[in-house]
Amino acid sequence: MTQPTAQGFPNIAGLFDLAGKEAVVVGAASGLGQATAIGLADAGARVVCADLNSQGAQATADIIAERGGQATATGADITSTAAVDALAADHAGAEILVVTPGMNVRKRLVNTTDEEFDRVVDINLKGTYRLMRAFGARMAAAGRGSIVVFASFRALVVEPGQGLYAAAKAGVVQLTKAMASELGPQGVRVNAILPGPFETPLTEQIKADRTWWDAYADKSALARWGLLPEIAGPVLFLASDASSYVTGHSLLVDGGWMAQDGRFTPSV
């Protein structure tokens, strides 16, 4: 992008326009992934709604179609290298990849098992790695692309019972930096979203405990939980040309959680 002139300064609104671009959103069946898919479609992208829950992915694609957008649905098992490679091959022209899946085992570390560790790492960290690797290689060959992965504010701060999840999401942050460094010369940007407390299927255990739920709201500077549509804007920024000089970044979307002190110890 050149220095701005009266005639040459870009239309900023246009930088957010994703018309003509294909975006693959993995984890699109529900929660933050669904909100992301809808938001990118609203911005003009042709969205591929991918999820292990293929019926849920189709439901998201149907919502997008009802809103006048373009979307298709497909199954996606991020614990399978073959399945991830096939997804990337089927959508080799995708310019945007968003990786949202996550799973948590809320137990203190001394009470966890090897199997739980493997499951949390395989979905949160290795699944993200598989997708970044498969799509990143194709984007690098094409000389363009934006990868947005979901980590968590738990990559930076923890509470009792979040150790496995926090460790895996911290790994996602480091993968983001590494791939941003490696693929930057080929025109591919890689960034991470670090959500704070949003009501999703992943936080149902917290919602069931009113004290825990209220403590999370009170901890945020905005004194509330995030609303699902509030994730779409930050993702759109990182996915679009509006962030053309942003890569290797971890963007907190946490309602100001990290801006102030305080902690709650849940009974897990």
Q: State the catalytic residues.
A: 165
Asked if residues 92 and 138 have their Cβ atoms less than 8 Å apart, the reply is yes
User: How many angstroms separate the CA atoms of 146 and 138, rounded?
Assistant: 12
Q: Which residues touch 54 (CB under 8 Å, ≥6 apart)?
A: 73, 74, 75
Q: What amino acid occupies position 63?
A: I
- Of 93, 12, 99, nearest to 46 by C-alpha is 93
CB atoms within 10 A of CB 223: 10
Name residue, tokens 């701005």.
4
Token pair, residue 184, equals 């930057």
Q: Which residues touch 140 (CB under 8 Å, ≥6 apart)?
A: 183, 186, 187, 188
Q: What amino acid occupies position 149?
A: V
End-to-end CA distance of the chain: 51
Reported as type and span, the H/E element at residue 38 is helix 31-42
Name residue, tokens 């999370």.
216
